[in-house]
Amino acid sequence: MLRIENLTKRYGDKAAVDHLSLHIQPGEIYGFIGHNGAGKTTTLKSVAGILPYDEGEIYIHDISVKLSPIEAKKIMAYIPDNPDLYDFMTGVQFLNFVADVFGVSQADRESRILKYGNMFELTEKLSDPISSYSHGMQQKLAVMSALIHDPKLILMDEPFVGLDPMAAHLLKQTMREICDNGGAIFFSTHVLEVAEKLCDKVAIIKDGKLIRSGTMEEVKGDASLEDVFLELEAEKD
């Protein structure tokens, strides 16, 4: 589903991501953890086709993000850590806009908007301006807009920040459901307990370099993910 080969992104002389390689299979929820500034967001943005990278390649369903960014974006969705949605639109206008961009049929968009709107208890508010939404509501709307075209791959940067416990629970369920239906999710998080419970695989990044990746069991063994993470952080220092 997602193949990252030797991804390198530099800001000036500093490599924010340094020869990172990662493969994600359909059906997998892949967690991406690391300290602040480790290169998680840079990696996710590069995969999303937002950030041009210096070396390496990224393939989504064998489509190169560098060579065919539009085709690659058609089958994925990206939710940033702090989504700045169009606050000059209402919720439903934004969803219509995103659905129009992806060419989602009237029937499909109706069923998905109502399904996820009801799930996240946002349906009632969809005709209100986004400027009146709380941070959590905007996060829910961003999730809804990401799901509206039934993407094969979803990239999420800290998706649980700002969500209430119920919404976070529903999002976790939805993530599982998407992957059970053959999709894949690549998300970053600082909440190691969530990663431990939710992810099939996990990758740990430090200073732009991938220091460990694999199934949850391979990465943490008998210890907790938190212990392993802290140990790895200390080791390299």
Partner 1 sequence: MLKALLRKQLYEVRYFYLGGGRKNKKNMPKNPKGMYVLFIFLYLIIMVSMFFASMGIGSALIPAGLDWLYFTVMNILAFLLGIIGSVMSTAQALFRSKDNELLLAMPIPPSRIVFVRMITVYLMSFIYASVIMIPAIVYYFIAGDVTFLSVVFCILSMFIMSFLITAFSCFAGWLVSLIATKLKNQKIVLVLLGVLLIGVIYYFQFNASRLIQSVIANAQEIAGALRGWGYPLYAPGLGMTGQVVGFLVFLGITAVLFGIAYYAVTKSFSRIALYKAAEKKTEFHNTDIRSSKLSDALFRREMKRFMASVSYMMNAGLGLLFLAAVGVLAIIKMQDIRMIIASIGAQFPYADSIAVVVGVCLTGLLAGLCLMASCSISMEGKYVWVYQSLPIDPYQIFRAKLALHVVLTGVPTLFSILVFGIVLKVSIPAFLCMIVFAGMYILLSASFGLMLDLKKPKLNWTNENQALKSNVTVFVDMLLGMLVPCVICAVYLLLAPVMGPELYLVIWIAIFAVLTLLIHKWLAGRGRAIFSAL
Which stretches of the chain bind partner 1, using CB under 8 A? 11-12, 48-52, 69-74, 77-78, 80, 84-86, 88-90, 92-93, 95-106, 109-110, 113-114, 123-129, 131-132
Between 21 and 93, whose beta carbon lies closer to partner 1?
A: 93
- CA-to-CA distance for 20 and 7, rounded, in angstroms? 5
- CA-to-CA distance for 53 and 64, rounded, in angstroms? 13
Between 51 and 191, whose beta carbon lies closer to partner 1?
A: 51
- Nearest distance in Å: CB 111, partner 1: 10
CA geometry: angle at 225 spanning 26 and 40, to 5°?
60
- CA-to-CA distance for 94 and 222, rounded, in angstroms? 45
Both tokens assigned to 202: 């996990």
Task: For the chain, give percent helix, strand, coil, nearest 5.
Answer: 40, 25, 30
- Nearest distance in Å: CB 230, partner 1: 29
- Nearest distance in Å: CB 206, partner 1: 21
Between 112 and 206, whose beta carbon lies closer to partner 1?
A: 112
- Nearest distance in Å: CB 125, partner 1: 7
- Nearest distance in Å: CB 17, partner 1: 15
- Put the strands of the sheet holding 209-215 in their side by side order: 76-79, 153-157, 184-188, 29-33, 201-206, 209-215
